[in-house]
Structure formats: structure tokens, C-alpha cells
Structure 1
Amino acid sequence: MLTKQASKHDTDFYGWTQEQASILRAASPVDARLDIDNLAEEIEDMGRAEILAISSLLRQTLIHLLKSAIEPESQALTHWLEEIITFQGDAVLAFSPGLKQRLDLEKIWRVACNGATRTLENRGVVVPQLPSACPLSLDDLLDPAFDPGAATQVLSAAIQSVAKHGI
């Protein structure tokens, strides 16, 4: 059982934190000095921090993809592509399977659209209407073989489709 738990800790940290917190709360206190409720809450918080970290990395990835798609002639394009590679790679490395159902891609997308729009407008760029749903899936964004150029093209096509068809 210890090997299974150690393995889960390494492969699905979020799932492990939620399971361990539940076990702690259900266990009879062996030592009255243990603060079971707060220990369980701290372990759960570690899992929630994982969700926030991955969400933030995906948001940054999408912001830079959007900026690249909207302003492909920018002098900052090389920097944006480097940022995409860094943020997306970090998201892949930090991801564990138990997080997938906890990540709200549509909310991350809306926040990324707002961030990219505000940043670009601040630089005087007219931002077109953006798709209401993310044109990339979590699987796309968390693919170790992710191609920022191809992803930028997907976003460009989706933005053009919205402009043309209002979708």
C-alpha cells in the first residue's frame, strides 16, 4: 500500500492530497497533539495550489498565443514565442492527471482573453472580437509535443472565423 501511495503522490499529486486529507479526517486520533482538521486543510490547500499554478501557466500560455495571433508582425513576437514555450512546458511538467477535471479551461480562456486584450489595447492595437470558447483543448495545451506555431495558427483561424461569421 505504501508503494501505491508513494506512486500516486508522484503521478497524481492533487488526487493524493485530497485522498490523504480525507483519510486524516476519518482516522481516529492516535495522538491528541495532532491537529487533524488543520493538517487535513493544509494538505487540501496544497492540492488547490496545484490547480492555481497550472491555471496560471495555461493563462500565460494563452495570453502569449493570443498576442502572437493578433499581432504577428510585432517586434515582440520572438519574446512571446519564448514565453509560450516556457509557460506551456512548465504546465506540462507540473500537471498531474487528477487536475484535469479540476481545470476550468473556459474560465482560464476568458481571463486570458481579457489579459491579452488589455495589454494589446494599451499598446494601441485594435483587438478583434475573440472566440467565446477556447479553440484549443486541455489535451492540446498539455501536449509535451506542443507546437506554438501551430497553436497560433489555430487561434488566428478561430479569430478570423469570429470576424467573418460572428461565431
Structure 2
Amino acid sequence: MPSLKTDNQTLYETDYLQWIEKTVEKLQSQDYGNVDWENLIEEIENMGRRERRSLKSNLLVVLLHLLKWQFQPERRSGSWEGSIVEHRRRVREALSDSPSLQPYLDIFADCYAQAVKQAKAETGLSLETFPILSPYSLSEVIDDDFLPRFTTESEQ
């Protein structure tokens, strides 16, 4: 007779959705002895990582489009503004659903640096065009009413 661990591992590897459904059933019926704890713990850990990665990704997209909005005003489009609105909403929802993500926002400076690199690549503008430090505060980045105005190099 195959072991429980082998059965759980096989199901986890071959039908993820069914593994989830069976795991939920076992937890609901308090059949704790037959729960695939190893994979369940791994999945819960991965959920936390995904939440942090998603927050970082959405923050980066907002910053990227704010930079493009500010430094390429002649190329502004509804899709840029739509992207800003959408990704701001995602950031706010993530923070609302999981307030414990708030301390993770110390990634802001890193996100800005990555957004600058991507903005350079997407716009063809020189790296020196963009401020070294973010010209936007975190509260501005997630504020639906904020859009930066165009600044010339002499204003920076």
C-alpha cells in the first residue's frame, strides 16, 4: 500500500486544484492526520511571497508610467493614465486587504530605481533625464488625483 505522503505528493504534482480541494475537505472535517502538511506549509509561504511581489510589481508600474507621463508629455495617452489608475487601485487594495504589507513599502526606493531603468529603455531618454531620487512621495504615487507636471532639466 502506498504511503500517504506519496499519495499527497502525487496529487499535488498532478492535479493542483484537486489537491487544494482535498486539503480543504480534510481541514474542514478536522482530518489533520491526513493533511499534506509539507506542501500546505510551502503553499502558504508562497502566498506571502506572491503578495509582496505583486505589491512591488504594481508599485513599479505606477512609478514607470508617472515618469513617462512627466518626462514625455508629448506621448501621453489614455492607456498610460489607465495603467496608472489600475495599478494604483491594486496597490491600495493590497494594502487594505493586508495592512501588514505596509512595512514592506521600504522597497519604494528600489522600485523607483527599477522604474527609472525601465523608463530609460522604453522612452529612449538618457538616464540623466530622470531624478536620482523619486520626485514623488508614496502618498502621491497612490493618490488618484496626482499626476506630475512636465519639468524641464533646468527645473530639476
TM-score (norm 1): 0.62
Q: Distance in 2 between matches of 1:55 and 1:65?
A: 15
SS at match of 2:129: coil
Q: Which amino acid aligns with 1:80?
A: W
Cα deviation for residue 45 of structure 1 reads 1.2
| Contact kept in structure 1, 2:140 and 2:146, CA below 8 Å | no
Name the Cα RMSD after superposition.
Answer: 2.6
Tell me the distance in 2 between the aligned counterparts of 1:134 and 1:38.
40
State the partner residue of 2:64: 63
Match of 1:97 among 96, 99, 105: 99
Task: State yes or no: 1:45 paired with 2:46.
Answer: yes
Tell me by how many angstroms 1:127 deviates: 5.4
1:20 is aligned to none
What TM-score does the superposition give when structure 2 sets the normalisation length?
Answer: 0.66
Aligned equivalent of 1:160: 155
1:82 equivalenced with 2:82 (yes/no): yes
CA distance in 1, matches of 2:135, 2:99: 21
Partner of 2:120: 117
Q: State the Cα distance separating 1:157 from its structure 2 match.
A: 7.8
Q: Percent identity?
A: 28
SS at match of 2:81: helix
The 3 A distance-change label for structure 1 pair 60 and 158 is farther
Q: Contact 1:120/1:127 (CA < 8 Å) preserved in 2? A: no
Gaps of 5+ in 1: 1-29, 162-167
**Deviations for 1:2-45, whole angstroms, at most 9, x for unmatched residues?**
xxxxxxxxxxxxxxxxxxxxxxxxxxxx8443343432221121
Contact in 2 for aligned 1:128/1:159 (Cα 8 Å): no
Distance 1:159 1:68, change over 3 A: farther
Pair 1:158–1:38, CA change in 2 (3 A): farther
Displacement of 1:140 after TM fit?
Answer: 3.0
Any gaps of 5 or more consecutive residues in structure 2? Answer: 1-30
